[in-house]
Structure 1
Amino acid sequence: MAMPQESIWDVAAPGGRFWQWLPTPTTTSILWAALALGLCWLWWKNNSQNDRPRRTQGGRKSFMPGPRPLPIIGNLHQLGELPHRTLAELSKTHGPLMFLRLGSVPFVVASSSQAAKLVLQTHDKTFAGRPVHWTAPKIIMGPTMPSVLFHQPDAYWRLARQICVSDFFSNKRMHYFQGVRMREVSNLLVSILNVALEGSKPILLREVLQAGILNIIAIMSVGKPLQRFLTVGSGSCDVDIVRSIFETKASLGLFEIGDYIPWLAWLDLQGNRKRHRQVAKNARTVLQRIVDTRRIQHGSQGNPSPQDLLDILLKAAGDPNNKDIQFDDAAVRAILLDMFVAGTDTATMTIEWALAELLQTGINFKN
C-alpha cells in the first residue's frame, strides 16, 4: 500500500519531522533568531519608507542635524516627562531645525521664531495637514476624521476652515459676541474676588479660567453658557457633554505606542482603544442630541438667521452648493468638538502664562 506523501507543512510545522530531528536548545535558538530577524526587517522597512530628510553639501549627502536614534524606538527615550524642555535643550546642541525619529515616525522640530515662520507662514500649505495614522483621533472623530484639526487639506477641509474663519471668527461675529465675552469676564473676576475675600483656600486659577472660557465657547457654539450645562438634571445630555469634552481632551492627549511604532499598533499594548470607543460613543450621542434639538427648533421657526456656530454649520450642511462635499452631521459634531477641545486649553494656558510673566515682572521691579 502506498504511503501518503508528506507536504512541506507536515515537515516544517511545529511538531513536524524537521523540528523533532533537531535538539530542543537548537529549536529554541532558531525561533529566537527568526523572531529577531523579523523585528529587524520590520524596523528596516518602516525606517526605509520614512527615511531622514537629506540635503546636499559639496555633492555629498548628509543628514539634518539631530540626536542619533536607536533602533525601533528612535529618540523616544530622550523625550522624558517634559518633552518641551527636552526639545529646547536638544535644540541648543543641534540647532533651530532639528530632526528626530520617534519610533519610525520622522519629526522636524522648529525651535526659533525664524524657523517657526518658515513652517507656519512661508511653507504653511506643505505643513497644513496632520498625519492620518493617529489612533485616538481616528476612533473619536470617525474613520474619515471630519475634524478641522486632523483632516487632510482637501475641498471639505477648505470649506470647514472658511466657515470657521469667515463666518464665525470674523470681526462682525466677534463684535456680535462682545457683550457675551465682557459679561463672562466680569463674572470670572467676581468669582476670583469672592474666593480671595474668603481667604480660606487657594485659588486654582487654571480651573477658574477653564470654566470661564468654556462658558464663552459654549455660548458662541451652541447658545448655552456652561452654568446651564451644570444645573440641569443628571439625566440630561447637557451634563454629559461637559464630561465628554474633558474625556475627549484626555484621550487625545494619551501617548499611543502604536502611533510611533505602527507594526505594534494591532496589539493595543496599552489597552486604550476600548476607552477611546466609549469616549467617541458618549461625544457622538450628546452632540447629536444637541444637533437634532436645534434642527427641530429651526423647523418650527422657519429659517432663522444664524445666531451661533451650530446655526452656521447646519446652514452649510443644508446648502445645495455643498452637495458634492460630504458635510453631514458627523462634520457638524466634529467641528463643534474641535471648538470645545482645542479652544479651552490654548486660551487657558496663554492667560496663565501671561499672568505668571506679569507677576514675575512685578517681583523683579520691586527688587
Structure 2
Amino acid sequence: MSRLRLPPGPPAIPVIGHLHLISNYPHHSFWELSKRYGPLIFVRFGSVPVIVASSPDTARQILQKHDQIFSWRPRTAVTSYLYEGRNILFSQPGPYHKLIRQVAFSRLSGNKRLESFRPIISSEIRQLLSNISHASNNVSVRGKLYESTFSIISAIVIGKSTKNISFRSPKAFNIGDYFPFLATLDLQGYAQRSKAVSQILKVIFGEIFNERRNDRENRDDKMQDEDFLDALMTVSSNQKEVPITDTHLKGILTVRIICL
C-alpha cells in the first residue's frame, strides 16, 4: 500500500504524537507551527490524526471545495452522551444532517426571523441593566450576562425564558478521546458525568415536549410555528423519510440552549 501524501508537520513523539506542542491556547500554537511548516499542517493528537488549516485560502478549500471529504464528525465521550450524535454539530453527513441544517437556517437565521427576536432581546437587556444598576452589593457581570444570554436563547428556541436547566458541558481535555485504549477507564469521569446529565435532560425535555404537544393540539392556528421547537415538531410530523424522535429533539436543543 502506498504511503499517504500528508501535509508537512513537526516530528512526533510515540504514543502522544504532537500533544506536547499544544499550549493552553491552541490557536497560538498552530500559528507558530504555521510559520515554519506552512498553511496546511498535519499533526497527531494521541491516536487522532488532525489537519490544521491556518490561512483563509486553505480553510476555504476545505470548507467549500472539499467539504464532503472533511465533513465527518468525530465522536467524543461528552458529545456521545449529551447529544447522542443527533445535533447539527456532531451528526454525520446525510439526509438528517441536511434537513436539520435547513430548518435551523430558515427558522433561526433568516433576516425576518432575526428581526422577530428583537423584542425578546431588548426586554432581556433592559432587565439585565436594571438588575445590575439596582444591585446593592458587588455583582458578577459575567454571571448576569450568562443568565441573560441563556434566557434569550431559550425564549427563541422553546418559547419561554428558563434559568433552571442550565448545564455547561465539560470543555477540558478528555484523555480517553485521544487514547482509545484508555476510554473505557473514564479516568477523568467525563463519561459518567455526561451520562448523569443526559438522564436529567431527558426528564426535563420530556416534560417540555409533552407540554408542547398538548399545546399544539389545542392551538387554534395549528399552522403557525411560534419557535424553533414548533418548527422541528412540524417538520417531524410532515415528513417520514428522515425520522425526528424525542432523542433527536433533545440532542438538537441541548446544544442550542443548554451548553453555552
TM-score normalized by structure 2?
A: 0.89
The CA deviation string for residues 67-86 of structure 1, in whole angstroms up to 9 with x for no partner, is: 11111111112223332322
1:288 corresponds in structure 2 to 206
Which residue, 175, 184, 198 being the options, matches 1:266? 184
CA shift, 1:284, in A, is: 1.4
The CA deviation string for residues 24-65 of structure 1, in whole angstroms up to 9 with x for no partner, is: xxxxxxxxxxxxxxxxxxxxxxxx9xx9851xxxxxxxx522
When the two chains are superposed, the root-mean-square deviation of aligned CA atoms in Å is 2.4
Q: Classify the secondary structure of the residue corresponding to 2:29.
A: helix
2:230 corresponds in structure 1 to 311
| C-alpha distance in structure 2 between counterparts of 1:97 and 1:193, whole Å | 49
2:98 corresponds in structure 1 to 158
| C-alpha distance in structure 1 between counterparts of 2:23 and 2:251, whole Å | 32
Q: Structure 1 residues 156, 102: closer, same or farther in 2, change over 3 A?
A: same
CA shift, 1:137, in A, is: 1.2
1:16 corresponds in structure 2 to none
| 2:61 maps to 1:118 | yes
1:181 corresponds in structure 2 to 121
| C-alpha distance in structure 2 between counterparts of 1:168 and 1:111, whole Å | 29
Q: Structure 1 residues 192, 114: closer, same or farther in 2, change over 3 A?
A: farther
2:9 corresponds in structure 1 to 66
Indicate if the aligned counterparts of 2:125 and 2:148 stay in contact, CA closer than 8 A: yes
Highest CA radius of gyration, 1 or 2?
1
| 2:151 maps to 1:211 | no
Paired letter, 2:80: K
CA shift, 1:109, in A, is: 1.1
Give the structure, 1 or 2, with the largest relative contact order (CA under 8 Å, sep 6 or more): 2
The CA deviation string for residues 326-362 of structure 1, in whole angstroms up to 9 with x for no partner, is: 21111111111121246x3xxxxxxxxxxxxxxxxxx
Q: Classify the secondary structure of the residue corresponding to 1:126.
A: helix
Paired letter, 1:80: S
Greater share of helix residues, 1 or 2? 1
1:86 corresponds in structure 2 to 29
Indicate if the aligned counterparts of 1:52 and 1:106 stay in contact, CA closer than 8 A: no
Which residue, 110, 133, 136 being the options, matches 1:170? 110
Indicate if the aligned counterparts of 1:298 and 1:304 stay in contact, CA closer than 8 A: no
CA shift, 1:190, in A, is: 3.8
1:135 corresponds in structure 2 to 77
TM-score normalized by structure 1?
A: 0.64
| 2:161 maps to 1:225 | yes
For structure 2, list consecutive stretches of 5 or more residues without a partner in the other structure: none
CA shift, 1:306, in A, is: 0.8
For structure 1, list consecutive stretches of 5 or more residues without a partner in the other structure: 1-47, 55-62, 230-238, 345-367
Indicate if the aligned counterparts of 1:52 and 1:64 stay in contact, CA closer than 8 A: no
CA shift, 1:263, in A, is: 2.6
Paired letter, 2:191: R
Q: Classify the secondary structure of the residue corresponding to 2:23.
A: coil
| C-alpha distance in structure 2 between counterparts of 1:118 and 1:104, whole Å | 25
CA shift, 1:138, in A, is: 1.3
